[in-house]
């Protein structure tokens, strides 16, 4: 862990990732000067097994679906650096032993590989899914159970002691520190590997039972041929997880259902025998929620400047969902976004006289422009009406710079 070349790689990774300071306020730019001054003492503490991590800083962020918050524990920059150095040593030892059906937080594995694997199971005739959601997984991990699994792979007691101290480091919130007796908070480089070490036993149990499954972090889908089989699997695994790993299944979010009624990593499938990938409706709603924030903040800005910010979001979303074989979601978002932009323009024109002048300038005849400008309807209705579609057709918005998700999707799917 403390070899020079490993530490240099860990420092480069921490600086590249950036991130907020921890409880001590140290930034990534201050890490190297701090290490130059104090490294001899830190190294001695690590080798002697006496290093004590600092508490993590509590940060609550909204969940992607907008329901509730997720708690992150932000370690200090120094502790992120040491965790990264430890991760770089442990990962090559542990990762090759993990299941082929596990895709989360692993090198050379991705969400797209997990989605393709799930589709392959459905195409093979396993058209019922046991969608298991672990209740507050990262907050409820039992330290003793986890350390038992880690100790099977790591024999150096100093490393085991250091990992346990990272797990038990207190959480600082508003100047008050609370001790931690369970959980491995998201925010540190080591947490994803520790979660995979713990859940690898679950993977092995599923393989031993002969199940077809895909797991990405704590999100696991098991594919079966009938609803009755799925309900048996659900009940059996719920007991096994509680007994062996001390983990509870969230019954409200878990279900035995058809795959096309559920989502996995933002994707869903169609109901046909040859199931095709599509964007899950919840993922479309999350995108719209994110875009609404930009649109509300952009009402007083130039349309071209607002479009630049919108494109940054939609381009990344389109790249992630490039595996989707159903284009309806891309068309829906394109139409919705164009209407929202026309709504902003209608608001910016404000007065009927200005609207009349702008509609004329955009090519509408006098009678139609006059009738439209004084129609008394609201901005959203006018944004969807034919006069605004004629004044600001897709071609005009494209010239301003607006990215078409459908065009971008077609381009990505045609790329070699």
Does the pLDDT of residue 416 top 60, yes or no?
no
- E-strand ranges in 275-329 read 277-279
Q: What is the pLDDT of residue 298?
A: 76
For residue 207, what are the contacts with CB-CB under 8 A and spacing of at least 6? 99, 101
What DSSP assignment string belongs to 83-119?
A: HHHHHHHHHHHHGGGS-TTB-TT-TT--HHHHHHHHH
Please report which confidence band the pLDDT of residue 65 belongs to, taking 50, 70 and 90 as the band edges: low
**Cα–Cα dist 69/91, whole Å:** 30
How many distinct helices (H) and strands (E) make up the chain? 18, 10
- E-strand ranges in 317-379 read none
**Cα–Cα dist 369/350, whole Å:** 15
Q: What is the mean pLDDT of residues 107-131?
A: 95
Digit-coded pLDDT (tens) for 188-233: 899 999 999 999 999 999 999 999 999 998 899 999 999 999 999 9
Q: What is the mean pLDDT of residues 376-383?
A: 94
Q: What is the pLDDT of residue 179?
A: 78
Does the pLDDT of residue 136 top 90, yes or no?
no
């Amino acid at each position: 862990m403390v070899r020079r070349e490993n530490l240099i790689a860990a420092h480069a990774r921490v600086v590249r990732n950036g991130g907020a300071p921890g409880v001590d306020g140290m930034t990534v730019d201050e890490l190297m000067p701090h290490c130059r001054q104090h490294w001899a003492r830190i190294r001695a503490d690590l080798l002697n097994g006496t290093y004590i991590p600092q508490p993590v800083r509590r940060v609550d962020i909204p969940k992607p679906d907008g329901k509730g918050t997720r708690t992150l524990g932000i370690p200090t920059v120094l502790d992120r650096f040491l965790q990264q150095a430890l991760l770089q040593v442990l990962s090559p030892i542990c990762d090759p032993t993990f299941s082929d059906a596990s895709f989360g937080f692993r090198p050379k594995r991705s969400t797209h590989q997990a989605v393709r694997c799930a589709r392959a199971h459905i195409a093979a005739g396993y058209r019922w899914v046991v969608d298991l959601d672990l209740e507050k997984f990262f907050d409820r991990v039992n330290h003793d159970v986890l350390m038992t699994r880690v100790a099977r792979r790591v024999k150096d007691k100093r490393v085991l002691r250091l990992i346990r101290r990272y797990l038990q480091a207190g959480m600082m919130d508003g100047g008050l520190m609370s001790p931690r007796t369970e959980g491995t908070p998201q925010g540190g480089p080591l947490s994803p590997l520790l979660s995979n070490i713990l859940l690898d036993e679950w993977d092995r149990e599923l393989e031993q039972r002969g199940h077809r499954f895909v797991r990405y972090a704590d999100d696991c889908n098991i594919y079966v041929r009938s609803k009755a089989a799925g309900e048996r699997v659900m009940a059996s695994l719920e007991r096994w997880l509680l007994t062996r790993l001390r983990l509870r299944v969230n019954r409200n979010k878990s279900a035995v259902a058809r795959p096309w009624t559920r989502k996995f990593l933002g994707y869903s499938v169609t109901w046909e025998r040859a199931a095709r990938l599509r964007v899950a409706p919840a993922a479309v709603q999350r995108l719209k929620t994110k875009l609404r924030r930009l649109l509300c903040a952009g009402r007083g800005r130039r349309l071209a400047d607002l479009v630049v910010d919108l494109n940054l979001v939609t381009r990344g979303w389109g790249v992630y969902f490039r595996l989707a074989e159903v284009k309806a979601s891309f068309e829906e978002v394109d139409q919705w976004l164009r209407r929202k932009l026309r709504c902003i323009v209608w608001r910016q024109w404000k007065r009927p006289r200005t609207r009349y002048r702008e509609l004329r300038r955009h090519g509408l005849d006098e009678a139609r422009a006059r009738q439209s400008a004084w129609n008394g309807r609201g901005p959203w209705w006018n944004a969807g009406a034919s006069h605004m579609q004629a004044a600001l057709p897709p071609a005009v918005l494209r010239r301003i710079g607006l990215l078409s998700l459908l065009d971008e999707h077609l381009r990505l799917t045609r790329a070699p």
